[in-house]
Chains A and B, each alone.
Chain A
Amino acid sequence: MIGFDLVHMPQATFRSESRFHAYVRKVATDSEEAWVYQQDQPQTAFWHLWAWKEAAFKVNFQSGGKRVFAPKRLQAETFEKHMDQPGWVIQGRTERGAVQGESSQNEALISAWTMSSDHSQKRLERAVFPLSKAQSLQAGYYLRKEALTWLENQFGGSFRWEEHAYFPTLIAPSGESWPASLSHHGPFGGLACVIPH
């Protein structure tokens, strides 16, 4: 299973400092809250944590977990600075098991992808697409379309999405389903997928 999330930083603002603190209280566990406030830029750190939690939620849901808004049940336990870029390698737990993830920050964007350990040796592909302002009104629809175009250019053949309760399933040209996760925020959308051997 794989989860993916994007945060567009110019839109990820808080109306006040007190609102930021209230957000942290609602989303972060005690140990996560301590980590956020220990960082040089707590608000940026918070969005890394948030993106990881969103990605972890998607893994949890696809693994059979309930669709509930319960960010504190997704517990990030260790944070290590990314070796190659600004960002974090985060390990933690969901109700369905341990998950590991990475976040990276590229200018205005934070992305996080999280894979359960059984897919850790497989190849991960990640792509980010701009969505125009007009498209962002129906971002989900256009994101799926853009993702198919990217996949077809990358791998050839015809890909499609199959609708399921909350997350669509990616069907490859061979007919098998590939673990995949979509996310959009502001003018950006993204896809992460695992390419089976």
Chain B
Amino acid sequence: MNRPEVLEKLKAIVTPYVQNKEALASFGEETDFLEDLQINSAHLVDIILDAEEAFDIEIDDDAAEQMLTVKAAIEVVEAQMKA
């Protein structure tokens, strides 16, 4: 799976939890889950759990800590898929 495919899959995972739907139009690597998409912090846990299922990976606590932006999330997913 290449980076644009990971990005698209991540967008699909995140979309149900987004409060600021307008911000989805500019969804990209620089997008911040909390500030730009206004995702409730409790849903960060949902995103991590959904990503584990969708990519068939395990995201440990150290990796999960970084997942506040799309770019960081992609890097975590890519690293875990290679592991």
Q: Which residues of A contact B (CB under 8 A)?
A: 7, 12, 19, 22-23, 26-27, 50, 54, 67-70, 72, 137, 139-140, 166, 185
Establish whether residues A70 and B38, one from each chain, have CB atoms under 8 Å apart when the complex forms: no
A68: chain B residues at CB < 8 Å are 65-66, 68
Q: Are A185 and B44 in contact (CB under 8 A)?
A: no
CB pair A12–B65 under 8 Å, yes or no, is no
Contacts between the two chains (Cβ within 8 Å), count: 36
Interface residues of B in 66-82 (CB under 8 A from A): 66-68
Inside 8 A of A72's CB, which chain B residues have their CB?
61
Using a CB–CB cutoff of 8 Å, the interface residues on chain B facing chain A are 19, 34-35, 38, 40-42, 44-45, 48-49, 61, 64-68
Q: Determine the distance from Cα of A32 to Cα of B41 in the docked complex, in whole angstroms.
A: 19
Complex contact A26–B68 (CB within 8 A): no
In the assembled complex, the CB of B34 is this many whole angstroms from the nearest CB of chain A, namely 8
| Smallest Cβ-Cβ distance to A15: which chain B residue | B46
- Given A69-B64, A69-B67, the answer on whether A22 and B44 have CB atoms closer than 8 Å is no
Q: A70-B61, A166-B35, A185-B40 are in contact. Are A27 and B68 (CB under 8 A)?
A: no
